[in-house]
């Protein structure tokens, strides 16, 4: 069974986000071996300079790279990525499973985004929308779309 790892910078604090993540993780177990990894978000002052933000993103990227298994297909969730519908996510999952040797990683950055090097090293940059979402909600949306993609592949009723 394929391993799907969601690497997230920052911890979920609100109970409704935690409940939603747990629900999608449970649902995904019927299709894959899901893993949600929360990495610590760098602490920054209230009004950080761009240099402070860049340095923090660089430190976060080191932890992200350590969390990605060798050969894994890596999808980075970022506004400048390609947009696709849910059927496109299903197709992406199929292709990523093969290309990643059975391991697919999705990366969701912190509230300040991701270091450019994380994006450069990704196999795929994927955007959810032109709209801006809180990164905690983006995590839930990513889980939902991964689940929907597997449901589509299985011919399930969830997507209908």
Count structural domains, the chain. 1
> Residue 147 is part of a domain; what is its CATH number?
3.40.1280.10
pLDDT tens figures, 70-96: 999 999 999 999 999 999 999 999 999
The percentage of the chain sitting over the pLDDT mark of 90, rounded to a whole number, equals 90
Element (H, E) at 103: strand 103-108
Rounded distance between C-alpha atoms, residue 74 and residue 56, angstroms: 21
Three-class secondary structure of residue 45 per DSSP = coil
Residue 127: exposed, middle, or buried by beta-carbon count in 10 A (0-12, 13-18, 19+)? middle
142 inside domain: yes
Categorize the per-residue pLDDT at 133 as very low, low, confident or very high, splitting at 50, 70 and 90: confident
**Residue tagged 């955007």 (tokens):** 127
92 inside domain: yes
* Average pLDDT of the residues of the chain: 94
Mean pLDDT over 61-68 rounds to 98
Q: Give one DSSP letter per residue of 84-126, joined into a string.
A: --HHHHHHHHHHHHHHTTTEEEEEE-BTTB--HHHHHH-SEEE
Q: Which is higher by pLDDT, 132 or 6? A: 6
User: Is 0.75 surpassed by the pTM of this model?
Assistant: yes
158 inside domain: no
């Amino acid at each position: 069974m394929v391993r799907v790892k969601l690497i997230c910078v920052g911890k979920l604090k609100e109970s409704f986000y935690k409940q939603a993540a747990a629900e999608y993780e449970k649902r995904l177990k019927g299709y894959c071996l899901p893993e949600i990894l929360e990495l610590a978000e760098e602490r920054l002052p209230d009004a950080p300079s761009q240099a402070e933000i860049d340095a923090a993103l660089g430190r976060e990227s080191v932890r992200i790279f350590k969390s990605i298994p060798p050969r894994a297909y890596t999808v980075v969730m970022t506004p400048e990525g390609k947009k696709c519908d849910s059927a496109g996510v299903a197709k992406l999952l199929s292709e990523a499973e093969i290309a990643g040797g059975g391991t697919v990683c999705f990366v969701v950055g912190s509230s300040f985004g991701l270091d450019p090097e994380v994006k450069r090293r990704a196999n795929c940059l994927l955007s959810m929308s032109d709209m801006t979402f809180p990164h905690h909600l983006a995590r839930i949306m990513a889980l939902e779309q991964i689940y929907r993609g597997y449901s589509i592949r299985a011919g399930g009723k969830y997507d209908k």
